[in-house]
Amino acid sequence: MNGELRVPDSGVFLSHEKMQLSRAELVEGLEKYSEVFGCYLILNCAGVIQYINLKGIDILDSESLRQHGWRLECFLSENDRDVFNKFLMRVFNNQTQEHCEVLLQSSVGSKLWVRMEGKASNDGNTCHVVLIDITDHKQMEVSLSASEFKYRALFANMSTAFSYHKFIRDKHGNTYEPILIQANDAYGTMLGRPVCEIIGKKCSEINEAGTAPLLDWERLCTDVVIKSQPACFDYYDTSLKRWLSVIAYSPAPEHMALVYVDITKTKIAEKQVAESEKRYRNLVQGTDVLIMIINERSEINFINEYGLAFLGFSAEELIGKSVFDTIVPVFDTPGSSIQDVFNRFKARPGQKHRHTLENITGSGGRVWIDWTSHSLNDPKTGEHILICVGVDVTESKRSEQESLRRMAQQRQRDFFNDSIKRGIGVGEWLSAAKLMGIEIQPPFILSLVEIPPQLVAPGVSEQVRIECQHAIDSLIETLQYVGAGVTWHAADGIAILRPVSSQIECSPSERSRTIAADIVKIASRYWNGLPLRMGISRFSQDQSIAEMYTQAQAAITYGPILHPDQSIHCWHDLGCYQFILNDLESEQSRRFVKDALGPLMIENFTEDPGELLLTLGALLTGDSAQVVAKKLHIHPQTVAFRKKKIEKCLNVDLNCMETRLKLTIATRLLSFMEKNVRMAHLVG
């Protein structure tokens, strides 16, 4: 009080003159080392506050400061305390202005990101520190981090090179070099270096290897980042020795994204077109690019020999004819109007345009050509013309379309498998399927084709694995193409969801087997004669796809146990066992099997329990002793002997109908349980 300031660590009062001198030194330091007038304080070497202004008191809780000995650390987390201590060490050791960024946390829960800028006093005993609020900046960084994933997903697999940079500025607004914070593999391929080696480096550091694009970063920063004006330009890069068409834009403050398109071949072709007519004609006839001149009526005035040979036309068939009557469709495959694009470009003379178009060959086939067109006036006639240079990109375009097709197939596969995993209802599933372009209506039958173990056996070579996967993919495409139903690769095989008319004349069982037989007939050609097994759900209109899949899976898993001689197993063939499959692992089921068959399952029994169980299972089929003996490859008297042993061991009469029913259910349950154990072992 009375114009004096208490020093926390010494417990004494400064005189009014000393306090004024301290404040004057503080103001002088602030004016010299910071442009910010806000929260400031004076710290000693130990980080104890010697002085704090009223603005600082508004931010920091003075009561908490007093309780913690006026140490600023009480407002910092453990990690930020280490940052703060290192900051103080640099300030006092270097005698230069230093800074750090920390998160202040008050006792009432409020948080504030600040940038600390400090410099030691002349005597080296204290330092002046200014706190600058950077909370908004930090929040912006968080938003930028959230959008970073979108950029990665969008550009990671682009065939065109892409890079993402951040510009760092000092407090005076001067721009430092951009730092590469993200790039796709195509960018690394363009530079001839793995992307992981250059991420996080400045452009000057990348340029040391002589492989980075040479751009005017200062101008790009001014036009694109500061003025927020996207830029598009072509230039020859002497470092990469190629022509690049660059698109630059700023998705966020202090950030810039660039897309690089290699237009070297196109630039070379344009340079050839710009030469004299005689030299031009002699040169273009031997080049492996299509060169064409079109007048303002869309008629072809000239096309080089390579273009004629590539498109499969003679000069008489094209010269003087409209491109839309010969080599260019009015609409491309996606349905876009090429005529509209052409008319808009003709209306802007003096400009260049690049577009990949679908063209028609003389045989009626379709090819993709990357055209670069220059709109200008003919120097002789003054007529408006287009000089077009084209490069065949059919293979890459088809590869792109194939990639899109595979992506769509993968989306469909993920959608169905996720629907099974989540067990969503019929209405929700149909709505989601419609959004994906899958038009299908109940009632359904779901079939599950087991992939032969020979095709997925472990230890096969990579080439064999690729061929097997190709066979699986080809079968899926064929089944879908011939109308077998919506087909996808599921966890347990190839699943086919097929809509079936509810007005069927035959029984659901007969209809299911007819559908299955058609699928088996098609699939057999792809498995090279390997035996096929299939599970089929019941004919359903109100079940979810997950329930139908579970039924087909149970049919293909347990059906071979009940009917080993069949290859097609339907859910309804399981009969009464449909109701107990979900309880196979329950204690009640285990106790039932143990009570019914326990003595036959004791390992130290005098006779092999496996043979007795095998004999019991054969006897329960109702076959005669001679048939059972033939199946087991034993003498009929041995069958009779074992039957007596079983009856004695279990204390039952195998001629009793109720006893046979009980033992039949018990032996089937045991087979199902053993099947589950073997499957779990294989998965493990």
DSSP letters spanning 279-348 = HHHHHHTTSSSEEEEEETTSBEEEE-HHHHHHHT--HHHHBTSBGGGTTS-SB-TT--BHHHHHHHHHTS
Q: Which pLDDT score is estimated for 168? A: 78
Q: Which residue has the tokens 């005669």?
A: 624
The number of C-alpha atoms within 13 Å of 514 and in the hemisphere containing its C-beta is 10
Is 233 within a domain? yes
Contacts of 87 (CB under 8 A, 6+ apart): 98, 99, 100, 116, 118
Is there a single domain that holds both residue 358 and residue 325? yes
> If phi over 0 gives left and psi between -120 and 50 gives alpha, with beta otherwise, what is residue 49?
beta
Domain annotation covers residue 85: yes
Q: How many CB atoms lie within 10 A of CB 579?
A: 9
List of the chain residues with pLDDT < 50? 1-14, 30-36, 335, 603-607, 680-684
* Phi, psi angles (nearest 5°) of residue 486: -75, 120
pLDDT score recorded for residue 176: 66
Residue with tokens 């037989």: 517
Q: The tokens 């503080």 sit on which residue?
A: 26
601 lies in the same domain as 614 = yes
- Name the packing angle between helices 625-632 and 636-650 (round to 10°): 100
Whether residues 309 and 440 fall in one domain: no
The closest of 371, 254, 266 to 323, measured between CA atoms, is 371
The pLDDT value recorded for residue 31 is: 44
- Both tokens of residue 642? 């074992």
> Does residue 268 form part of some domain?
no
Residues 184 and 230 reside in one and the same domain: yes
Q: How far apart are CA 74 and CA 76, in angstroms?
A: 6
> CATH code at 343?
3.30.450.20
In this structure, how many other beta carbons lie within 10 angstroms of the beta carbon of residue 291?
23
Q: Give the domain-ending residue among 371, 392, 413.
A: 392
d(CA 291, CA 297) in angstroms, rounded, equals 18
The answer to whether residue 150 is domain-embedded is yes
Does residue 4 lie in a domain region?
no
**How far apart, in whole angstroms, are the C-alpha atoms of residue 610 and residue 553?**
28
Q: Structural domain of residue 63, as residue ranges? A: 16-133
**One domain for residues 571 and 588:** no
Which residues contact residue 228 at a Cβ distance below 8 angstroms, ignoring those fewer than 6 apart?
250
pLDDT of residue 346: 62
Q: What does DSSP assign to residue 502? A: S
Question: Are both 569 and 440 inside the same structural domain?
Answer: yes
Query: Could you tell me which of 306, 305, 300 has the C-alpha nearest to residue 319?
Result: 300
Residues forming a β-bridge with 293 = 302, 387
CB 255 within 8 A of CB 164: yes
- Indicate if 640 and 613 belong to the same structural domain: yes
Supply the angle between the helices 657-683 and 609-619 in degrees, to the nearest 10. Answer: 120
CATH of the domain at 551: 3.30.70.270
Q: What is the pLDDT of residues 650-666, one digit of tens each?
A: 888 887 777 777 787 78
Q: Tally the domains of the chain.
A: 5
**Is 629 within a domain?**
yes
pLDDT value of residue 562: 81
Closest CA to 324 of 349, 350, 357: 357
Structure tokens at 581: 């499959």
Return d(Cα 95, Cα 524) in angstroms, integer.
Answer: 82
Residues 6 or more apart whose CB falls under 8 angstroms from that of 278 comprise none
Q: What b/e readout covers 38-71, taking b as 16+ CB neighbours within 10 angstroms?
A: bbbbbbbeebbbbbbbeebeebbbeeebeeeebb
Q: What is the pLDDT of residue 274?
A: 67
Cβ proximity of 487 and 479 under 8 Å: yes
Look at residue 9 in the predicted model and tell me its pLDDT.
43
Report the alpha-carbon distance of residue 203 to residue 181 in Å, rounded. Answer: 11
Same domain? For 426 and 538 the reply is yes
Element (DSSP H or E) covering residue 608 = none
Query: 340 and 409 share a domain?
Result: no
In a 13 Å sphere around the CA of 79, the CA atoms on its Cβ side amount to 3
Give me the pLDDT at residue 7, please.
42
Which of 202, 236, 262 is at the close of a domain? 262
- Do residues 493 and 543 share a domain? yes
Q: Residue 108: name the closest of 59, 166, 157 by CA.
A: 59
472 and 611 both lie in a single domain: no
Helices (H), 158-312: 185-191, 203-207, 217-220, 264-273, 277-284, 305-311
Q: Does 678 lie in the same domain as 536?
A: no
In a domain, residue 11? The reply is no
In a domain, 129, yes or no: yes
Instruction: Say how far apart CA 425 and CA 432 lie, in whole Å.
Output: 11
Instruction: Name the domain boundary from 561, 579, 597.
Output: 579
Find the helix or strand (DSSP H, E) in which 558 lies. Answer: helix 545-562
Give the span between the Cα atoms of 455 and 527, in whole angstroms: 9
Q: Would you state the pLDDT for residue 213?
A: 83
